[in-house]
Amino acid sequence: MSLEALTWAKKIAAPSSGAKYLLIMLANYAGKKGESFYPLAEIAADMQVSVDSVRRRLGELQDARMVARIARLRGDGSRSSDVVILLMDDETRAYAEALGWSAEGSTGEEADRAETPGIEPLADCEGVIADCDHPLPKLQGGGRTVATPKKNQQLTDIQPTPTPAARGGVEVASLREEAQAAEGRWKAFKDLWPFEPAASPGKARSAFFALSAEDREHAIRFAPRYLAATEGKRRKHPGNWLADRDWSGFLDQEREATAARERVERSYAERAERERAKYGGVIIYPDSEMGRRQHAAWRRYDTARGVDCRREMRSFPLGHGYVRPSRFPPSAAAEAGEGARDGPDDAAA
């Protein structure tokens, strides 16, 4: 939910009470750029009205230039759920124009007519829909859903207004890539979360798209932890979990653990520097928990060279040990992975 969008929707006058209700619902679903990808069927279910009623109210908002509705096409040319953008300010208008909307473009009635069997969706186009001149195919069949030849000709005669994308002001490719990436991350999150079969994921989807790209990654990364921690317990609705950014506790734990590791590494590094300055190398303590693996590695290395470390043992501040150039010998340095290191000098040669 965008607080800015909701505040705007509550203050602005809408063409009708139904349109006002729909505008507030769209604001509740909207992301930071005023965008919503919510399917009309799910909006209708949330409003407890018919899909046709939502279409009519959406047409009123489009005619009033309060929202922009832009068709989204799949790779096979079929039409996916549209993106609806609240035209709150110049920034949201520029975003809508970058995706193909034009203030002089089609009205809500024409946008709905494009969903009917009379007009085929636009396919195989690399440009923005509003920047292209698509000849509509000949209409076949009959019935009240088929556009008349006169209206069809009016649609084909529309000359699109150049958008910022057409003028080179906005990188449309980057916007499309951003939208595609967001869709992919949403699918990844939805695959992780055990949605109830009868439950609509619309609320969660809206909350997910309202997040920043970084927070979407956090949601995907920490969802399994939350689900594991609440196994057999009452869980939040995924939409509320996303809106509340309820992974902040896990993120704080990670930060604390990282800070603790960094403190330990600094301590090891400082001690190693002091030992090198005083003894000419680091001290290996065979009887300490930290030094057992280091001692075992150096013993194998020294044995191969015919060196007996026991002859070098002497007393140091933390116990008996011997001095070596590094925590691990050269032959063991490559084998000492991140999980095997006892400190920053473990893999040093």
- 75 plus 154 within the same structural domain: yes
**What contacts 24+ positions apart, CB below 8 Å, involve 227-236?**
227/192, 227/193, 227/194
Rounded mean pLDDT, 65-81 = 73
The identity of residue 211, as a single letter, is L
pLDDT in tens, 258-309: 999 899 889 888 988 999 999 999 999 998 887 899 999 999 999 888 998 8
- 284 plus 335 within the same structural domain: yes
- 164 plus 208 within the same structural domain: no
The reported pLDDT for the residue numbered 204 is: 86
Q: Choose the final residue of a domain: 170, 192, 213.
A: 170
Alpha-carbon span 164 to 186, nearest angstrom? 28
Alpha-carbon span 123 to 38, nearest angstrom? 22
Q: How confident is the model at residue 78 (pLDDT cuts 50, 70, 90)?
A: low
The identity of residue 30, as a single letter, is A
- 156 plus 294 within the same structural domain: no
Angle CA 6–10–15, to nearest 5: 120
- 160 plus 203 within the same structural domain: no
- 133 plus 154 within the same structural domain: yes
Q: Is the pLDDT of residue 44 over 90?
A: no
In a domain, 129, yes or no: yes
- 141 plus 88 within the same structural domain: yes
Establish how many alpha carbons lie within 13 A of residue 259's alpha carbon, considering only the half-sphere containing its beta carbon. 6
Establish how many alpha carbons lie within 13 A of residue 106's alpha carbon, considering only the half-sphere containing its beta carbon. 21
Most confident among 32-41, 239-248, 337-346 (mean pLDDT): 239-248
- 212 plus 140 within the same structural domain: no
The β-bridge partners of 319 are: 316
Longest pairwise C-alpha distance within the chain: 103
The reported pLDDT for the residue numbered 162 is: 44
Q: Strand, helix or coil at 82? A: coil
Residues near 301 by Cβ (< 8 Å), separated by ≥ 6?
329, 330, 331, 332
Residue with tokens 């920047």: 131
In a domain, 301, yes or no: yes
Rounded mean pLDDT, 85-94 = 87
Which run of H or of E encompasses 152?
helix 149-156
Question: What is the residue-wise DSSP string for 9-29?
Answer: HHHSPPSSHHHHHHHHHHHHH
C-alpha 94: how far from chain center: 22
Q: How confident is the model at residue 143 (pLDDT cuts 50, 70, 90)?
A: very low
The reported pLDDT for the residue numbered 152 is: 40
- Cβ-contact 144, 172 below 8 angstroms: no
Q: Is the pLDDT of residue 347 over 80?
A: no
**What contacts 24+ positions apart, CB below 8 Å, involve 193-197?**
193/223, 193/227, 193/238, 194/227, 195/238
- 238 plus 321 within the same structural domain: no
- Cβ-contact 328, 336 below 8 angstroms: yes
In a domain, 326, yes or no: yes
**Count of domains for the chain:** 3
Rounded mean pLDDT, 66-83 = 73
Structure tokens at 60: 């009123």
- Cβ-contact 216, 189 below 8 angstroms: yes
Q: Is the pLDDT of residue 148 over 80?
A: no
Strands 83-86 and 67-70: antiparallel
Structure tokens at 215: 């927070």
- 43 plus 139 within the same structural domain: yes
Alpha-carbon span 12 to 323, nearest angstrom? 77
In a domain, 153, yes or no: yes
In a domain, 349, yes or no: no
Q: Choose the final residue of a domain: 217, 246, 275.
A: 246
Q: How confident is the model at residue 313 (pLDDT cuts 50, 70, 90)?
A: very high
Rounded mean pLDDT, 101-125 = 46
The reported pLDDT for the residue numbered 177 is: 76
Q: Choose the final residue of a domain: 112, 140, 170.
A: 170
In a domain, 346, yes or no: no
Rounded mean pLDDT, 302-330 = 89
In a domain, 69, yes or no: yes
Alpha-carbon span 29 to 40, nearest angstrom? 12
- 159 plus 187 within the same structural domain: no
Structure tokens at 343: 């400190």
- 165 plus 181 within the same structural domain: no
In a domain, 347, yes or no: no
Identify the domain containing residue 152 by its residue range.
3-170
Q: Is the pLDDT of residue 126 over 50?
A: no
Sign of CA dihedral 3, 5, 6, 10: positive
The reported pLDDT for the residue numbered 104 is: 64
Q: Is the pLDDT of residue 58 over 70?
A: yes
